[in-house]
Structure 1
């Protein structure tokens, strides 16, 4: 697969050199055909690609010099060429109703086009003269402006919302989608997030990504994502450019991103822009709303499990704010969660906030904030009565309460301060100072309370564990647009990491007749202090080689210093796009990514108790080299077709020596893992319908993901399937607007089962005390779970109010009640209960010597509803 992709990519790149003739070639043809001579200065760039199909000299000259870069005068049989003067027009594109900047809005000049950046800013450097600029954005009415460009100009544009409008596709300058130069990227519109079928009446940002090709979900209903055969720790989650370590609430049922606070979400699976680094599988770039600049607006939503409220508006004439809060219905968790095995006493909340202040026409200061926390407590008690006799042989009863408690909490906090500055129409910068923190902890308690006629006593032991991450980052990014043919981006970042993965405290307490007689900390360990310093710099240049070829070379350089050792990583990035015709495009790309942190799991599914640890002087950074090739067709109005193939080569991956998961401290984890290599490859197909009342897409992914330990530690060095290796995945998403008051949405997903390590039989091994019976496991991840599939549907009933809108949303998760395997439990004839005490099979039902696999399903059929009122 890799050799095939590389060969095709080389053929594709070589084709770029002969795909188009140059301007000088066409000028020679014009001289020969019409008997004229061109006179020009040698400094003029005549090597750019050009074509002309004209029937007259005038028409030929108009086609050759249509971009205005070169101006000409006809002097008899001589044509005099001169370089045109150039000026820059720049500005910001916003929503006319809210003042919110529009990311990715199209700005056209003739057949050239670009899109606004992550802050709604555009910049075009054009030849002197009369120009006509067109502005467009999906869901907004287009605008056209004609002006005379004889100096640098600033032009802001406000577009009016119009849901019936679909913007024209822009070739080049986009960072995601078919119109982008790179591959493996996709933008998720806000309408898809809000209208997709909901679990418990809650729209979810990360769940919307699971409908895309190459994106696998965790267990049923989880918002976790695994990209192209990677693990959950290989995804870089960014909130306004600031990393978030844990993206889930309620053990994965909800993501931390409240949809009301999100302006745009972009997923990158390959051809990563050079500014990104730190993970090997994907980048999920989430941008928050800046706030309504035109008036005070907001709303609230009451769902089956959550309540949330959103408020945004102006403060004076130069400041805007956006505030979103969300809390869990604690009263309903026990009712709904107990059948699913969720903790009874559970609570989570989160807050998104953002304030933007315009210091001057060229300077904007923005503060971003996120804080979220999950907490639950689970307890059980056993009550016993024992008969005793006193010294007079009189009977009395002693009451013994055996108490067990378990607590867990985790959460993220993100604080960022960003300064955007416009130097001139061509150069823009943003500088961000940020802090991100993640904390998780758990506590287990065991207590015995004894009461009789003489006294009462109580004794308890308490174990607490915590893990902390703290990152301070200073980063600056520049965007420079010297001409419509170049878009240069460069910048640097410095991050101070502090990991404390294994803080522990063990204590005991004794009481007699409600009086504390002993309260002792038996041991306390503040945790292993594991600092790291990460520095990076990058540069990339998106270059248009004529009207049909665009390339984007880039380089990301990173240093990571820890425990007295410094690792250096050179990460080249390259992507190219060739528009074979107006309807067909080819893309090729290569990227190298490096990762400096790992997630150590202690359960079969990803949980917040899993521990993040950095690389060490013994564990080198994980790297991934990815080659990709894509074919795209947009010739059918309202439809987009794409196919992408990829091959990913991984080095220095971390695998556990034993598949038996257990808790270990940070000072021991290096002894439990082994370094290996990996490979992942596949093909992804996507068909999208983008216009009309019925919109949606159908995607299919065929993929494989494997691992190997060259030293032979696992399976004697043979290739074995990765746990997230799932061969097939099909996703169907459809949205239908019956009218402006009622819309329907449905999604159907099918996926092959995950890989698991399952014993296949009993065997006899010789031990110190003679022959012993053991379970035999032939190889790592030797078992494929059954496939999973489900249908989710929802309907929204909307009604315009004098101020705002009312929406009732009703949905059904897993409509036909498929009992999908979230995980499997291996049972033998020597036990028939799992660790949680749930009985799945009677002892006599398991034949002697046989192993029985029991399928556990977390979520079956679930109805949901929500009520939203906006103003």
Structure 2
């Protein structure tokens, strides 16, 4: 009986306990029930005698948990502001407005690659039509505070599809952030490996090439504009021994050995101010791809490197543009939507150096014209009787036509011009004052068309045609001899290219194509007294077939191809194999192997006979396979990379042999100066780079060691150092984001001096008939003092209005005002024919610059 009673009591206790628990959960559930916001506002109006003013569309589908019955009216309104995406605001004691206006929230997200599942570092996250934003951190995370509720967040990253997301979809609740998957653009297998390389906007790809994204470009020491050809000199193995972007030396090569392409148009001219400023306006240039080795078989020419520039290629539905100026020039660009399928992009830039001489202009002028007639003319013409006027401009235009999603047509045009007028006044024999104006004009005009077609999900094609015309013309009046000298160098090239891409699967692509080019080069010289005329014109036709396979899967990347070049005039066939291989050994270590054969038929020769007022003494010439052979190169490189926690260490050894160079092509200041012979040079060395990036800073140190020697069998000695043999080169820099919109950069360059040749001590000159020449010693046996330069930049961004952004930039080149010798040669002393005088060309001195830009 007792046991039965105990059992009954236990069952009753359990029942009561379960009932209490269930009741408690039921109570909590009832307490947490949501109600329609419309119904809740009606209850509040009745309870507190107030009125809500709202749009039905804003509140009709909104549910909310009921606030506590003990809340006052103010507490209820505060509760609704906190727990809804609406803004409740008292107009007075009785009326309350409800809207989405002025409502700000905190948003966050984690950006992840859809293809690899890895977080993406350095992606741009910006509020649409504003400058407010940031970048993703090493974990792919971003957070923005005080974001208007109705704003759109734009997420973009080079090589990936741009995403636009409403702010309320990224609402941050208790630190929990939404994961956002972003897909790679279908155009390439060649994935971005390092998203923030040296600075934002510089990225490294699987094939070892470097991509410069001008729109997202961060900051580099000394620069106030994202100068394309100045910026790539931050890369190891890329420098200019005479501080000119018109003379970029890649792994010991000369400037004419760099293939310059602008939207598929081959360009023969690269610099304003005769080499100190890039001639390509960066504000419509979308990206620049720099390749030092392992080039795709699609490209030839440029036995040292390929610099491939692409302008913006997408149609925008809204008008956008920008303008800016610095102490040298002003520029503007516009992206104009005409219809849903047609748009026009235009840009223009012009210097104002012909009517205003800023301190920056004075420094550039002194550097550019220090060895020309403008500064070294005869003493019988005083400074007051000489004047010069210099200006430059460039323009570009692009017509975009999307026939449909699969067929797109683009038409491009670009123009680049430098103009120099030099006037000398003198008193003639009749006592009258006369003046004669010499002129130097340098231009490159290019026109191109492109048709890209997607025939299926796996197969697409592209057809490219272009025309390029380069001219340098000079009219030089020489008062001392009453002589008029006219000189012309003209290059005209037309070309077509058809290529096809076939995707075997997601990992393997096949490229095939054909290219035809016709190049003609004219060199002309006329003299008035005594009468003399020399004209030479050469034309060369080239046919090429190319094919390659590109594979990228897991840890392995390779691209292997071959190009066959047929020169119709010489009945000559050149076969060029290409290799680019990359293998990831672990999550941190990678090995890479690259190799290529290349050729080029157009090169530049250096003429020391006062060509083009002494400012521009390089002429383009064409190979004839007799005195001027086709230049060829063979290059190989091997290296390792370490990449962990945004610390990258890159070590790469290279070997390059370039044959078919001529003595006139190299511009010797020695006993070989007026001789002509063919030879080669061999460059070999090691490039080392260490780069650490984080959210707020980026720092890097690079070192290049190389040995670069000529071999000319017709000369004695036959082997001697190359004119650009720089044994040791060091660069380092540090970028820091002081504030979200304030960036600072400081860095420096140190390298050993370039070689030069001294006269023979005690026997400095020698007679050759009626001419006295400098008697040079062993070629390039001496070196200039080391080159050193320290630079700094400051960038500040701000909003003028919601849709108009602005930036102010300041930069200083050569802060320490160091007088670096960049070239040295000798001339016979006019006062003593048995002695030689030393001529030194020096680098830019202290060069400040500032710029102001607006963008809408």
Q: TM-score, normalised by structure 1?
A: 0.70
1:292-303 pair list within 5 angstroms: 293-303=316-326
Distance in 1 between residues matched to 2:758 and 2:494, nearest whole Å: 43
Is the contact made by 2:766 and 2:774 (CA closer than 8 Å) also made in structure 1? Answer: no
Does 2:849 correspond to 1:864?
Answer: yes
Alpha-carbon offset, residue 423 of structure 1? 0.8
Matches of 1:194 and 1:539, distance apart in 2: 36
Residue aligning to 2:418:
374
Q: 1:167 to 1:780 in 2, by over 3 A?
A: farther
The residue aligned with 2:377 is none
Q: Distance in 1 between matches of 2:119 and 2:687?
A: 28
TM-superposed CA distance for 1:822, in Å, is: 2.5
1:260 equivalent to 2:283? Answer yes
**Mapped partners of 1:849, 1:254: distance in 2:** 40
Structure 1 residue 507 displacement after superposition: 4.2
C-alpha distance in 1 between matches for 2:295 and 2:638: 14
- Cα drift, residue 432 of structure 1: 0.8
Q: Secondary structure at the match of 1:252?
A: coil
Corresponding residue number in structure 1 for 2:655: 647
State yes or no: 1:445 paired with 2:446.
no
Quote how far apart the aligned CAs of 1:776 are: 3.6
| Structure 1 residue 547 displacement after superposition | 2.9
Is 1:304 aligned to residue 327 of structure 2?
Answer: yes
Q: Quick check: 1:196 aligned with 2:226?
A: no
Change in Cα spacing, 1:307 to 1:769, as seen in structure 2 (3 Å) is closer
Q: 2:237 and 2:797 mapped to 1: Cα distance?
A: 34
Counterparts of 1:724 and 1:176 in 2: how far apart (Å)? 32
How does 1:300-339 map onto structure 2 within 5 Å?
Answer: 300-329=323-352, 330-333=354-357, 336-337=361-362, 339=366
Q: Which residue of 1 aligns with 2:604?
A: 599
Q: Hey, what does 1:714 align to over in structure 2?
A: 715
1:461-502 Cα shifts (integer Å, max 9, x gaps):
4221111111111101222111123111121110111111x2
1:816–1:410 Cα change, 3 Å: same
**Distance in 2 between the 1:680 and 1:722 partners?**
9
Q: In structure 1, how many angstroms separate the alpha carbons of the residues matched to 2:256 and 2:573?
A: 21
Mapped partners of 1:260, 1:560: distance in 2: 38
| Contact 2:113/2:183, CA 8 A, preserved across alignment | no
2:115 is matched with which residue: 100, 109, 113? 109
Give per-residue Cα distances to partners, 1:694-735, cap 9 Å, x unaligned: 12422111111111012xx22242x21111111111122332
Q: 1:825 to 1:189 in 2, by over 3 A?
A: same
Measure, in 2, the Cα distance between the counterparts of 1:312 and 1:721.
50
Query: Judging changes above 3 Å, is the alpha-carbon distance between structure 1 residues 429 and 351 closer, same or farther for their aligned structure 2 residues?
Result: same
Q: Which moved more, 1:579-588 or 1:604-613?
A: 604-613
Change in CA separation of 1:644 and 1:607 when aligned onto 2, cut-off 3 Å: farther
Per-residue displacement from partner, 1:163-197 (whole Å, max 9, x unpaired)? x9999999x932776664434x2222326756334
Cross-structure match for 2:455 = 423
Match among 544, 562, 565 for residue 558 of structure 1: 565
Q: Do the aligned residues in 2 keep the contact of 1:651 with 1:677 (CA within 8 Å)?
A: yes
Of 282, 304, 322, the residue aligned with 2:305 is 282
The one of 697, 709, 718 equivalent to 2:700 is: 697
C-alpha separation between the residues in 2 aligned to 1:477 and 1:642? 33
Q: Secondary structure of 2:283's partner?
A: helix
SS of the aligned residue for 1:207 comes to helix
Aligned 8 A contact 1:591 1:627 in 2: yes
> Are 1:363 and 2:369 an aligned pair?
no
The CA distance in 2 between the partners of 1:492 and 1:568, in whole Å, is 15
Contact preservation (8 Å) 1:440, 1:609: no
Shift, 1:237, TM fit: 0.5
In structure 1, the residue matched to 2:207 is 182
Which residue of structure 1 aligns with residue 642 of structure 2? 633
Out of 251-260 and 401-410, give the one that drifted further.
401-410
1:549-582 deviation line (CA, Å, top 9, x unaligned): 33221101111233xx222110001122111111
In structure 2, the CA distance between the partners of 1:259 and 1:197, relative to structure 1 (3 Å rule), is farther
Give, in angstroms, the shift of residue 785 of structure 1. Answer: 1.3
* TM-align CA RMSD: 3.8
For the pair 1:483 / 2:490, whether they are aligned, the reply is: no
Distance 2:694 2:764 in 1: 65
Going from structure 1 to structure 2, the CA distance change for 1:793 and 1:821 (only over 3 Å counts) comes to same
**1:549 corresponds to 2:556:** yes
- Unpaired runs of at least 5, structure 2: 1-110, 121-139, 144-152, 168-176, 195-203, 375-387
Q: Cα distance 1:547–1:195, how it changes in 2: closer, same or farther (>3 A)?
A: closer
Per the alignment, residue 786 of structure 1 pairs with: 785
Corresponding residue for 1:571?
576
Deviation of the 1:363 alpha carbon: 0.2
Equivalent residues of 2:606, 2:664 under 8 A apart: no
What's 1:737 paired with? 737
CA distance in 2, matches of 1:237, 1:305: 24
Q: 1:693 to 1:464 in 2, by over 3 A?
A: same
The CA distance in 2 between the partners of 1:506 and 1:206, in whole Å, is 37
Q: What secondary structure, in the 3-state scheme, does the structure 2 residue paired with 1:360 have? A: coil
Question: Any idea what SS the aligned residue of 1:824 has?
Answer: strand
Match of 1:233 among 239, 256, 277: 256
- Give 1:608 shift: 4.3
Is the counterpart of residue 473 in structure 1 residue 495 in structure 2? yes
Task: Tell me if the contact between 1:490 and 1:539 (Cα under 8 Å) persists in the aligned partners.
Answer: yes
1:233 counterpart SS class:
helix
> Matched residues in 1 for 2:488 and 2:419: separation?
13
Q: Mapping of 1:37-186 within 5 angstroms?
A: 108-109=114-115, 157-160=161-164, 173-174=189-190, 180-183=205-208, 185-186=209-210
Please list every run of 5 or more consecutive structure 1 residues that lacks an aligned counterpart in the other structure.
Answer: 1-104, 115-135, 145-155, 387-397, 449-458, 509-520, 833-842
Residue 298 of structure 1 and its aligned partner are, at CA, apart by 1.0
Moved more, 750-759 or 582-591: 750-759
Alignment match of 2:443 (pick from 395, 402, 411): 411
Deviation at 1:783?
A: 2.1
Looking at structure 2, the residues matched to 807 and 579 of structure 1 have their Cα atoms a distance apart, in angstroms, of 41
Q: How many Å separate the matches in 2 of 1:177 and 1:613?
A: 40
Q: CA deviation at 1:321?
A: 2.1
Q: Map 1:604-683 onto structure 2 (within 5 A).
A: 608-618=616-626, 619-635=628-644, 637-656=645-664, 672-683=675-686
The CA distance in 2 between the partners of 1:325 and 1:252, in whole Å, is 19
Q: Deviations over 1:50-82 (max 9, x none)?
A: xxxxxxxxxxxxxxxxxxxxxxxxxxxxxxxxx
SS in 1 for 2:431: strand
1:238-286 CA distances to partner (integer Å, 9 max, x unpaired)? 1012210111111111111111121001111111111110121000011
- The match for 2:16 is none
Aligned to 1:582: 587
Corresponding residue number in structure 1 for 2:824:
824
Deviations 1:613-658 (A, max 9, x none): 11114133111111110101112x1222211110112222222399
1:142 CA drift (Å): 6.6
The whole-number CA distance in structure 2 between the counterparts of 1:266 and 1:768 is: 50
Contact 1:793-1:813 within 8 A present in 2 as well: yes
- SS of the counterpart of 1:656? helix
Moved more, 777-786 or 429-438: 777-786
- Distance of aligned partners of 1:498 and 1:333 in 2 relative to their CA distance in 1, 3 Å threshold: farther
Q: Secondary structure at the match of 1:535?
A: strand
Q: 1:248 to 1:700 in 2, by over 3 A?
A: same
Give 1:797 deviation, angstroms. 2.1
Establish whether residue 528 from structure 1 lines up as the match of residue 560 from structure 2: no
